[in-house]
Structure 1
Amino acid sequence: MKYTILASGSKGNACIVESQGVRLMIDCGTTKKYLTQRFAEIDMNFSDIDALLITHDHTDHTSQVKHFQESTLFSPSILNWEYQHVIPYESFKFAHFDIFPIKTSHDVQDSVGYIICDGYETLVYITDTGYIRDYDLQFLKGADYYILESNHDPELLMQTRRPYSIKRRILSDTGHLSNEEAGLVLSKIVDANTKEIVLAHMSEEANEVALALSTVQELVDNEHIDFNVAKQFELMFGGN
């Protein structure tokens, strides 16, 4: 299994997971121009995506859905196109992939993260959640790859010029995971199988790459894991 993160952050999100010639895409935010450019860099077209998995209906995750009508669409929330409804904790198959959605906690009616297994390796993709339930840790343990939100540092967030209402939303149970919260979750779920961790959906104003990495690495304390940070507008490659 390999993955390519095309964009990660409040201005757009998109990630491709590929195995045995089948390509899944998680979310499709940003602009058509940006996605077209990134696809060209990896020698792909929109039509090469076999299935599109939506996490929730905020525009930074769904803005380019209309360009993936040739793909099979999966979503926990209502789309204006034909799609298959995703229900948290009800697994489904696509090609050789087993996909297990778990409920996330965000300020939207329906939102999920995805646990994706190709029969050999497992990838966990979770962003846009104020917290992760203890109940869900059992499903998240022992994955090969984690792409997990590490959105902000609370002190840096409070120093920004954002309205207090926005700061309060981000810090709430329906907001976004902080660096420390991400690290604490990861410390409970990584094991000897874990190869790579990508910190995702990082705030450009309320976080710093070095700070996020140091905070999470100190909590996880595993020198055998490769840690990376996904950028807002930059390709990142991982997996085998």
Structure 2
Amino acid sequence: MRVDLLCSGSKGNSCLVTSGDARLLIDCGSTKRYLTQALAQVDVRVEDLLAVLITHSHSDHISQLKLVKDVPLFSCCELKEGVRKHRIMPGDWFILGPFRITVIALSHDAPGGCVGYKIDDGTSTLVYVTDTGFVPNAARDVLAGADAYVFESNHDVEKLMATNRPMYLKQRILSASGHLNNADSAHCLSEIVTGKTKEVILAHLSDEANTPDLALEAFHEGFASQGLNDSGIRVQCGQQKVITSTEEF
């Protein structure tokens, strides 16, 4: 399996998952121009996609539904009027081509709910978790031991509080239905990553309230505080308009 995180952040989110000739897209945010160019950059056309998996209904994750309207869509939430989709629910699992996909309940203030995905192609496993205020304990056994993670590390708390954002917005981000901060992300990953894990992409970093250096520092400190060695894991930070790719895993 291989992951190409096409874009990640408050202005757009989309992730391509490839196994052999089978390709899944998780979310379809960003602009039409950028998303089309990003897919072309990894030599994929929209018609090549097996399906699109939607995490939730916020616009930075579904703004290009029209672009992928002819591709099978899977979503736990209602989408724009006229968009046909397959309804999925947390706890469900289903098969698409070589992929066994498990739907994971998350905690985010999106109408209709928010989910993550565990994707297994029979050889390797990816966990995709973004846009959640916390990771439910009930989900951690399901998430543990994947080969690769795309995992939210949205903000540094001190940096967030120093921004000029209104207090209600800061409180929303910090809440149990907001976004994972760097330290909580690192702590959760330290509990679910195993010796099998090869790749971690820290995702949905805030432009204003985070930096890649802060997210990476928190990741390494989180593992060190648990007495864990993370030297065998390739760790990267997703970016808003730069593709972040894993090795084959």
**What's the TM-score, normalizing by structure 2?**
0.94
* Per-residue deviation, 1:40: 2.2
* Per-residue deviation, 1:115: 0.4
Q: 1:187 aligns with which of 167, 186, 190?
A: 190
* Per-residue deviation, 1:41: 1.6
* Per-residue deviation, 1:37: 1.5
The residue that corresponds to 1:228 in the other structure is 236
Query: Match for 2:86: what amino acid?
Result: Q
Contact kept? 1:123, 1:144, Cα under 8 Å: yes
The residue that corresponds to 2:201 in the other structure is 198
Contact kept? 1:91, 1:98, Cα under 8 Å: yes
The residue that corresponds to 2:7 in the other structure is 7
Mapped to 1, the partners of 2:220 and 2:182 lie a distance apart of: 10
The residue that corresponds to 1:114 in the other structure is 117
Mapped to 2, the partners of 1:44 and 1:141 lie a distance apart of: 30
Tell me, yes or no, if structure 1 residue 168 matches structure 2 residue 167: no
The residue that corresponds to 1:126 in the other structure is 129
Alignment of 1:78-93 (within 5 A): 78-79=78-79, 80=81, 81-93=83-95
* Per-residue deviation, 1:160: 0.4
1:21-67 residue CA offsets vs partner (Å, 9 max, x unmatched): 11000000011011112122222222121100000000000010111
The residue that corresponds to 1:209 in the other structure is 212
1:136-176 residue CA offsets vs partner (Å, 9 max, x unmatched): 11000100000000000000000001111100000000000
The residue that corresponds to 1:75 in the other structure is 75
Mapped to 2, the partners of 1:36 and 1:194 lie a distance apart of: 31
Query: Match for 1:32: what amino acid?
Result: K
- Point out where structure 2 has 5 or more consecutive residues left out of the alignment: none
Tell me, yes or no, if structure 1 residue 98 matches structure 2 residue 100: yes
Moved more, 24-33 or 81-90: 81-90
Contact kept? 2:199, 2:235, Cα under 8 Å: yes
* Per-residue deviation, 1:219: 1.3
* Per-residue deviation, 1:217: 1.4
1:72-121 residue CA offsets vs partner (Å, 9 max, x unmatched): 11001112321111110111111111000111100013110000000010
Contact kept? 2:5, 2:238, Cα under 8 Å: yes
1:213 aligned counterpart, secondary structure: helix
Mapped to 1, the partners of 2:212 and 2:92 lie a distance apart of: 35
Query: Match for 2:237: what amino acid?
Result: V
* Per-residue deviation, 1:239: 3.6
Query: Match for 2:212: what amino acid?
Result: V
**What's the TM-score, normalizing by structure 1?**
0.98
Mapped to 1, the partners of 2:215 and 2:39 lie a distance apart of: 28
Q: Percent of pairs identical after alignment?
A: 45
Contact kept? 1:145, 1:239, Cα under 8 Å: no
Query: Match for 1:47: what amino acid?
Result: E
Moved over 3 A (4+): none
- Point out where structure 1 has 5 or more consecutive residues left out of the alignment: none
1:231 aligned counterpart, secondary structure: coil
Contact kept? 2:50, 2:96, Cα under 8 Å: no
* Per-residue deviation, 1:211: 1.2
Query: Match for 1:98: what amino acid?
Result: R
Query: Match for 1:142: what amino acid?
Result: G
Moved more, 78-87 or 1-10: 78-87
